Chain A
Amino acid sequence: MPLSLLRRGLQKKEHLKHQFSVNRSLKKHYDVVIIGAGGHGLATAYYLSRYHGISNIAVLEKSYMGGGNTARNTAVIRSNYLTEEGVSFYRESLKLYKNLSNEFDYNIMYENRGQLTLAHNDAAIRSFRWRAEVNQHLGVKSELVDRQTISELAPQLNLDEEVRYPIMAGLWHADGATARHDAVAWGYARGACSRGVELHQLTEVQAVQVSSGTAREVHTNRGKISCGCVVQAVAGNSSVVAAMAGIRLPIHSYPLQAMVTQPYKPLLNPHLSSPQLHVYTHQTSRGEFVIGGGSDPYPLYNTRSTLDMKESLAAGIVELLPFLAQAKILRQWAGTTDMTPDYSPIMGLSPVDNYYLDAGWGTWGFKATPISGKCMAELVATGRVPDLIKPFELDRFYRFQQVNEAGATAASH
């Protein structure tokens, strides 16, 4: 048993410390107002307070921290994207993730399990080879593997050639990982709050007052506050919140369904994904199989569960792992994905001077949490857009310079 647990066990319970800012009233002014206490917003506050000496920060959250897409994603971390901009960005995120538990002094349970994406046709093989070549060129572990290697990486897979969509090849991303998603948000929140950042939950932003191209005030259900600058990090509601500041975002929001089985003894190590069958899965440290897949086919700001998507996920997963037919579903849920035209995020400057965007996170927000926070903090602190996120500025849609990640995102989170 680790010493830290012994030490804690011998403490009296009065010593349990509140880890976050205790409920208090809103101040009149904050240098930085961050809208959204999800992973990204909290990470931004954390890096600002720890590395840039800025702590007069309010993180405003309409519900509870980490309760949006931070809580709803399937906790996949990977960097095997397609574009040079995307690969470089997520590669840096992965590096930060690897050290995050020790950075926080809080275990986020980062597990390097590897990710295997499956090809069931020639077109997918071509697309995977492209990703593998780009990844390798940029120093990311990614390779096209054959059926023999697949059978060694995940012997549980149905490699029968007589099925409707036989597995022909795979894209093996040895760096693929998972972590406890809640712990990532909490780790950032603890770190930020211990450095003076104020976390205000159940505080909903209702309006942003902009004059002469500058955000002056943020109006909440608990009163108005004036702000030096605003960072919005509200995945799932990005266009709604940006509209409060008069900013129009090229985003369509779609529900994304996911589900989890009851716990079973561990048998599957890597994360598996099949774009053809619109399904992906991994087995959590609790023994549950987390299963996700494609988005609902219509835009909606609602996280209700749908039956047809659940059936489709079940069908896909049973094709890949037939023995899972006996597994029981524990729970189904949904998140809202803010889809951009090019499947890359929207980060950085906005048409409002001191209003910074961290939006358009589609299905790739969780894996980008550390690097987004780090880059957004640098932007807020220095006023300069870090090179790593330069390609993701909103402006790119007006300049016709998209960063197209469509080939690396669909159903392969």
Chain B
Amino acid sequence: MIKMSERLPAPWGTRIDRERTVEFSFAGRTYQGLHGDSIASAVAANGSYLLSRSFKYHRPRGPLSFAGQDANTLVHIPGKPNSLADLEPATDGMQVQPINVLGSLQRDWGSALGLFSRFLPVGFYYKAFFKPRGIWEYWAPIIRRMAGLSPLDLSYREPRTDKFYGFFDVVVIGAGRAGMEAALDAARQGERILLLDQNPEPGGSLNYSRRDAAGLAARELAQQLAAQVAAEPGIELLTGATCTGWFADHWLSVIYRSQLHKIRTGRTVLAVGTLQQPVIFRNNDLPGIMLCSAAQRLLHYYGIAPGQRAVIVTADNEGYACALDLLDAGVQVEALVDLREQPATGEVATEVQRRQVRVLQGQTVWEAQADSSHRIAQVEVRPLVGESVSQHAGETLRCDVLCMSGGQMPAWQLACMAGAKLEYQEDQARFQLTQLPDGMQVSGSAANASGKDWGATHPWPIFPHPRGKEFVDFDEDLQIDDIVNATREGYDHIQLVKRFSTVGMGPSQGRHSALATARLVARATHRSIAETGITTARPPASAETLGQLAGRRFYPTRYSNMHQRHIAAGATLLQAGAWYRPAYYGPERETAINAEITNVRNNAGVIDVSTLGGLEIRGADAAEFLNRIYTFAFVKQEVGRCRYALMTNEAGVVIDDGVACRLAVDHYYVTATTTGVDRVFQTMLKWNTQWQLDVDIANVTTAWAAVNIAGPRSRDILAQLCPELPLEQEAFPYMGARVAQVAGIPARILRVGFVGELGYEIHVPQHCGEALWDAITDLGVSPFGVEAQRVLRLEKGHVIIGQDTDAMSTPQQIQMGWAVSRKKAFFVGDRSLRELEAQGVGRCLVGFVLPGGESQLPAESHLVVNGEQMVGRVTSCAYSPTLQRGIGLAYVSPALAEPGTSITIKLTGGERLNAQVVNTPFYDADNNRQDI
């Protein structure tokens, strides 16, 4: 086991608990850390920065930011692939593996690829691997295996998590100085505020950066502000919470404790700070090279001295504050290399001079070199001549850590998602957020306004080396030449540079590469940095998992009020939209279905039709409304009568059907198909928004339960349930409707049917469904399911909308021209139908029968062919126990539609079957069983 080295005494190490150790394994070795450590800090405490290998060249990599902003720290933890080692807390027993490793983390044979980098230029895969034709299919899997980061655990199952909703006047993102001050200001106005920070504690950079010579001011201010925030009841502070996205109208996604919180706010204050940028020189990616802020985080959060001998390279004043922190922690500062010619001013810089740090003004690190453990061992420093580096060999400085500050980039992602723009300020060598949307404010250092004294920033911290390996994008292993060459090849728009070179496309989404890329592209294409810009910011600003976004997953199920009765009766269920319906009752499918059919034809059966859509249309214009929305005529429909209601869309295509039952002059109860009702309801609302008729439309599907009693005995059965109600043919004719009590339950009774027998549809309030079912079945009536109903309706020649119709079916094609009124002024689809009729019907839905004794049945959707030509397809097909042969419906060309015509059905695999076109209904064509 590797023992950790001594930590620095308090007040260093604000996050760690020195009394509690943790042990975990990384890359096969056991490490000891302290409670509060991240994986990366615990590894660093053991003297190592090596965490991963890079994507393309397998170069050794260590933490750049110690803040979860770079991809160098990606590691694999079971169940948490692609974890950021500098964010993920180290816990006891954790098994951590490095990624992108071929061989071992220390000795990775993939790093040989680096030697061949000139043969793997930017976009190399576009230029090779395709000759001879088809060879890419061999290369692709090899390249795929090299790509990818962590493996995914296929057995992983996540517990379903809830999502949370919050509503605030103001959300302040970032609880650093600017964020806390903004929150306190808003609280004084009496607003309700949510103050978020992704760190475990409020304070932001005050907790690790340095503002003064003594190094006390920042911490004191943090404590002061945090105390005020805590005392303010209007502020809800959430630490460890990451805002991952800004969506229209201030709708924020926040990940807190691994759960998605969705927050609506009146306004958003972004106090998200800046992203310190790297300096770009040869081998700027060696483990031990990190941002100044990273070194300061190590010191202040974890009490870890980043090394023993440090070199600092800086383009602004941040390097000076870092130098003082390192000195205070007992680290020897070999030199502070300042790119700028002008010496820094201010309290901190003066203190650096006072402590006799060697400041190399107007110089840069030209190249870094590693020792055998891959850690930085020395740097070569050279003077700058303007923005170029001197040709002459410079001084070599030994060091085990290099801290860099290449300038600042406002954390732009959330603002730009909201439509803000980045404008480049040449004088400050910084991007500035502008054109903020209404209700958004940027404050603090993200707005280039803060207590920080960056001084003048060197505008060009980019130093090409003849031998390359100056990394612009660590995620994607892209060097200066890769970016420049992309523009030379003509991929010169910043978006094309990104797409061709993949710069900024890795997990860190350009946090440390966007600025340098903009600079390089601008120069290579002779445009300004402002014109060049950066690529589009898109959510998420920080990674969120699919599990967090999915949450519980809302796929609701609907059961009718009689559901438990079906289960008790041994029903097998099938899905119908959101509902489950009984397919048939009994253990054996065919037997059950046939028995149910026979029972309906000879006796009477009951089916649960609660899933049918139900719509209440009320108001003075109710009849007019139906007249417009359905094809039939409704104005003259008498109260107490039902009419078939067929709906077409503007193209004249059939989209739904049902029964419209007139309960009063100004009140219709209309049924719709189970899966169609939501769309029908929506369509009705949409049209009436335009028509402005005096109607109220309500979707009451789930307010009513319903059954259909069908069969020759159904009148007798109903008579027993409602002895008061006259049921004779004259008193309650076919297509009549009554409001009455059934078994003491208030009900709407519709004398309609789908199966071709005498029948009654009984609708009762939803909660009475079970009682109705019991009352009927107690009389000895057996239930039948959807499968039997499908056969029964087919025998009667009724179509099922959606099964026997498709996106082109017109009423004429399905032989329902009778359901279209030609006398009314208008209905949706009217004009199209007239046009289509003038052209003649292109295909017809016809009935067909198979020869008696033919045991093979075509499946629904098998093609009807005429020679090699497709002329139609089967839409419904079943064996009819009543007719004792296979029957079905099929679309055929008009030439084949005459009864008696022989048609050919092509089965899967090519076998052909002959059938004969017949008139429908197949059963009881004269309605002698239904209308009696």
Asked if B841 is at the interface of the complex by the 8 Å CB criterion, the answer is no
CA distance A18 to B485 in the complex (A): 10
- Bitwise, A113-128 to B at CB < 8 A (1) or not (0) is 0000000111100110
Q: Is there contact, CB below 8 Å, between A307 and B247?
A: yes
User: Which residues of B (118-132) have their CB < 8 Å from a CB of A?
Assistant: 118-121, 124-131
| Of A64, A66, A111, most B-chain CB atoms within 10 Å | A64
Asked if B393 is at the interface of the complex by the 8 Å CB criterion, the answer is no
Asked if B555 is at the interface of the complex by the 8 Å CB criterion, the answer is yes
Q: Is there contact, CB below 8 Å, between A324 and B127?
A: no
Of all chain B residues, the one with the shortest Cβ separation from A71 is B499
Q: Within the complex, what minimum Cβ distance (angstroms) separates B316 from chain A? A: 30
Contact for B539 among A9, A305, A400, CB less than 8 A: A305
- Bitwise, B102-133 to A at CB < 8 A (1) or not (0) is 00000000000000101111001111111101
Q: Is there contact, CB below 8 Å, between A314 and B863?
A: no
Asked if A245 is at the interface of the complex by the 8 Å CB criterion, the answer is no
Of all chain A residues, the one with the shortest Cβ separation from B653 is A404
Q: Is there contact, CB below 8 Å, between B262 and A400?
A: no
Contacts of A202 in B (CB 8 A): 493
**Segment with Cβ contacts to A, from B148-156, B635-643, B721-729, B736-744:** B148-156
Contact for A332 among B140, B156, B507, B538, CB less than 8 A: B538
Asked if B19 is at the interface of the complex by the 8 Å CB criterion, the answer is no
Q: Within the complex, what minimum Cβ distance (angstroms) separates A284 from chain B? A: 9
Q: Within the complex, what minimum Cβ distance (angstroms) separates B829 from chain A? A: 12
Of all chain A residues, the one with the shortest Cβ separation from B77 is A326
What is the size category of the interface that chain A forms with chain B? 35 or more
User: Which residues of B (65-97) have their CB < 8 Å from a CB of A?
Assistant: 79-82
Asked if B620 is at the interface of the complex by the 8 Å CB criterion, the answer is no
Q: Is there contact, CB below 8 Å, between B873 and A286?
A: no
Asked if B898 is at the interface of the complex by the 8 Å CB criterion, the answer is no
- Chain B residues with a Cβ closer than 8 Å to the other chain, count: 98
CA distance A110 to B129 in the complex (A): 11
Q: Is there contact, CB below 8 Å, between B154 and A137?
A: no
- Bitwise, A322-355 to B at CB < 8 A (1) or not (0) is 1111111111110000000110000000000000
User: Which residues of A (139-185) have their CB < 8 Å from a CB of B?
Assistant: 144, 156, 164-165, 180, 182-183
Asked if A109 is at the interface of the complex by the 8 Å CB criterion, the answer is yes
Contacts of A122 in B (CB 8 A): 574-575
Q: Within the complex, what minimum Cβ distance (angstroms) separates B887 from chain A? A: 17
Q: Is there contact, CB below 8 Å, between A327 and B140?
A: no
CA distance A181 to B481 in the complex (A): 24
Known: A285-B140, A311-B551. A4 touches B127 (CB 8 A): yes
Q: Is there contact, CB below 8 Å, between B490 and A1?
A: no
Asked if B327 is at the interface of the complex by the 8 Å CB criterion, the answer is no
Q: Is there contact, CB below 8 Å, between B125 and A16?
A: no
User: Which residues of B (510-558) have their CB < 8 Å from a CB of A?
Assistant: 536, 538-540, 543-547, 549-551, 553-555, 557
Asked if B832 is at the interface of the complex by the 8 Å CB criterion, the answer is yes
Q: Is there contact, CB below 8 Å, between B127 and A8?
A: yes
Asked if A287 is at the interface of the complex by the 8 Å CB criterion, the answer is yes
Contacts of A28 in B (CB 8 A): none
Asked if B488 is at the interface of the complex by the 8 Å CB criterion, the answer is yes
Contact for A201 among B131, B493, B575, CB less than 8 A: B493
Q: Is there contact, CB below 8 Å, between A264 and B127?
A: no
Asked if B427 is at the interface of the complex by the 8 Å CB criterion, the answer is no
Q: Is there contact, CB below 8 Å, between A134 and B870?
A: yes
Q: Is there contact, CB below 8 Å, between B124 and A5?
A: yes
Q: Is there contact, CB below 8 Å, between A18 and B488?
A: yes
| Of A66, A134, A327, most B-chain CB atoms within 10 Å | A327
Q: Within the complex, what minimum Cβ distance (angstroms) separates A108 from chain B? A: 8
CA distance A71 to B536 in the complex (A): 13
Contact for A304 among B80, B248, B873, B906, CB less than 8 A: B248
Of all chain A residues, the one with the shortest Cβ separation from B248 is A304
CA distance A305 to B485 in the complex (A): 32
Q: Is there contact, CB below 8 Å, between B539 and A323?
A: no
Q: Is there contact, CB below 8 Å, between A265 and B150?
A: yes
Known: A156-B154, A330-B543. A404 touches B808 (CB 8 A): yes
Asked if A221 is at the interface of the complex by the 8 Å CB criterion, the answer is no
Asked if A315 is at the interface of the complex by the 8 Å CB criterion, the answer is yes
Contacts of B836 in A (CB 8 A): 400
| Of A66, A99, A129, most B-chain CB atoms within 10 Å | A129
Q: Is there contact, CB below 8 Å, between A328 and B499?
A: no
Contacts of B550 in A (CB 8 A): 311, 314-315, 317-318, 325
Q: Is there contact, CB below 8 Å, between B489 and A18?
A: yes
Asked if B802 is at the interface of the complex by the 8 Å CB criterion, the answer is yes
- Bitwise, A1-31 to B at CB < 8 A (1) or not (0) is 1101110110001001111101000000000
Asked if B683 is at the interface of the complex by the 8 Å CB criterion, the answer is no
Asked if B341 is at the interface of the complex by the 8 Å CB criterion, the answer is no
Contacts of A22 in B (CB 8 A): 490
Q: Is there contact, CB below 8 Å, between B128 and A400?
A: no
Q: Within the complex, what minimum Cβ distance (angstroms) separates A234 from chain B? A: 17
Contact for A307 among B129, B251, B538, B807, CB less than 8 A: B251
| Of A111, A164, A328, most B-chain CB atoms within 10 Å | A328
Contact for A266 among B144, B247, B553, B651, CB less than 8 A: B144
CA distance A1 to B144 in the complex (A): 15
User: Which residues of A (65-106) have their CB < 8 Å from a CB of B?
Assistant: 65-67, 71, 84, 99, 101-102, 106
Known: A137-B863, A332-B539. A130 touches B549 (CB 8 A): no
Contacts of A66 in B (CB 8 A): 496, 499
CA distance A84 to B120 in the complex (A): 45
CA distance A319 to B574 in the complex (A): 19
Q: Is there contact, CB below 8 Å, between A1 and B116?
A: yes
Contacts of A164 in B (CB 8 A): 553, 555, 557
Q: Is there contact, CB below 8 Å, between A287 and B149?
A: yes
User: Which residues of B (274-310) have their CB < 8 Å from a CB of A?
Assistant: none
Contacts of A286 in B (CB 8 A): 147-148
Asked if B141 is at the interface of the complex by the 8 Å CB criterion, the answer is yes
**Segment with Cβ contacts to A, from B199-207, B343-351, B854-862:** B854-862
Asked if A209 is at the interface of the complex by the 8 Å CB criterion, the answer is no
- Bitwise, B843-871 to A at CB < 8 A (1) or not (0) is 00000000000000001111101000010
Contact for A264 among B152, B489, B652, B870, CB less than 8 A: B152
Asked if B774 is at the interface of the complex by the 8 Å CB criterion, the answer is no
Q: Is there contact, CB below 8 Å, between A182 and B500?
A: yes
Contacts of A304 in B (CB 8 A): 247-248
Asked if A378 is at the interface of the complex by the 8 Å CB criterion, the answer is no
CA distance A201 to B490 in the complex (A): 12
Q: Within the complex, what minimum Cβ distance (angstroms) separates A75 from chain B? A: 13
Asked if A56 is at the interface of the complex by the 8 Å CB criterion, the answer is no
Q: Within the complex, what minimum Cβ distance (angstroms) separates B532 from chain A? A: 12
Q: Within the complex, what minimum Cβ distance (angstroms) separates A146 from chain B? A: 12
Q: Is there contact, CB below 8 Å, between A266 and B870?
A: no
User: Which residues of B (135-185) have their CB < 8 Å from a CB of A?
Assistant: 136-137, 140-141, 143-145, 147-158, 163
Contacts of B245 in A (CB 8 A): 305, 307, 332
Asked if B417 is at the interface of the complex by the 8 Å CB criterion, the answer is yes
CA distance A65 to B481 in the complex (A): 23
Q: Is there contact, CB below 8 Å, between A331 and B509?
A: yes
Q: Is there contact, CB below 8 Å, between A20 and B490?
A: yes
Q: Within the complex, what minimum Cβ distance (angstroms) separates B810 from chain A? A: 10
Q: Is there contact, CB below 8 Å, between B152 and A323?
A: yes
Q: Is there contact, CB below 8 Å, between B574 and A9?
A: no
Q: Is there contact, CB below 8 Å, between B807 and A111?
A: no
Asked if B908 is at the interface of the complex by the 8 Å CB criterion, the answer is yes
Asked if B692 is at the interface of the complex by the 8 Å CB criterion, the answer is no
Q: Within the complex, what minimum Cβ distance (angstroms) separates A326 from chain B? A: 5
Q: Is there contact, CB below 8 Å, between A310 and B549?
A: yes
Name 18 extra pairs, CB < 8 A, besides A9-B120, A133-B908, A262-B507.
Answer: A5-B128, A9-B118, A107-B127, A109-B140, A129-B908, A264-B81, A264-B82, A264-B148, A265-B149, A307-B539, A314-B547, A318-B158, A318-B546, A323-B153, A323-B155, A327-B152, A328-B507, A407-B806
A-B contact pairs, 13 of them (CB 8 A): A5-B124, A109-B125, A121-B575, A122-B575, A130-B861, A137-B870, A164-B555, A266-B144, A286-B147, A306-B248, A307-B262, A400-B652, A400-B835
Closest 4 CB pairs of A and B: A287-B148, A325-B547, A9-B119, A314-B549
